[in-house]
Amino acid sequence: MNTKLIAVLAASAAATALFVTGCSDDASTTSPTSTPGSAAPAPAAGKSTASVDGKEVAAKFDTTCAKQAGTLALALTDTANATYGSLSVSATVEGDTVQAVAIGGSQGGANGLPYAVGYGQGAPGGSAKLAKDGNTYRITGEGISADMTNPLAGPSTVKFDVTFACATIVGA
């Protein structure tokens, strides 16, 4: 997968966040519900969290969830994150299938560059699984990331574990 696709996935995260920003719920994260790669237990209701490569992303997330024509758009945003700047974590789900996951920050990558991890169904180099409990959705899997300071190094695989705790789902 090339760095263009990673950039597209990061842009998709921002677009998803903007699509649903008008109707968000505030939910803070304090700890991950489990580590990536473990069996997917039911998500913890009430807490939106994200972890990458087993490390919790420390953030105060606004959680936004919207459904339109069978597509569920999920977004976590923290516009003043100390590590990642404007941070967006998003996913698109159709039925029980995860279509895309994007984690992007305006900073936090190598040498202060933007940070991005992405997964797209059908694209090589990734996976995603969905577990749901009411209006809480947990997505675990692997996405692709790249060191933008050394594009010749190629992409790397990164594990993610994201819980979207939706107080309400707009359009549901």
pLDDT tens digits, 36-45: 344 444 444 5
Q: Provide DSSP, 79-93.
A: EEETTTEEEEEEEEE
Name residue, tokens 């992303």.
Answer: 57
Helix, strand or coil, per DSSP, at residue 168: coil
Domain residues of the chain, as ranges?
3-33+44-165
Residue 155's pLDDT is 86
Q: Is 125 helix (H, G, I), strand (E, B) or coil?
A: coil
Confidence band, pLDDT 50/70/90 cuts, at residue 170 = very high
Give the tens place of pLDDT for each residue, 106-164.
Answer: 998 887 889 899 999 998 889 999 999 999 999 999 999 987 777 788 888 999 999 99
- Tokens for 98? 């995860």
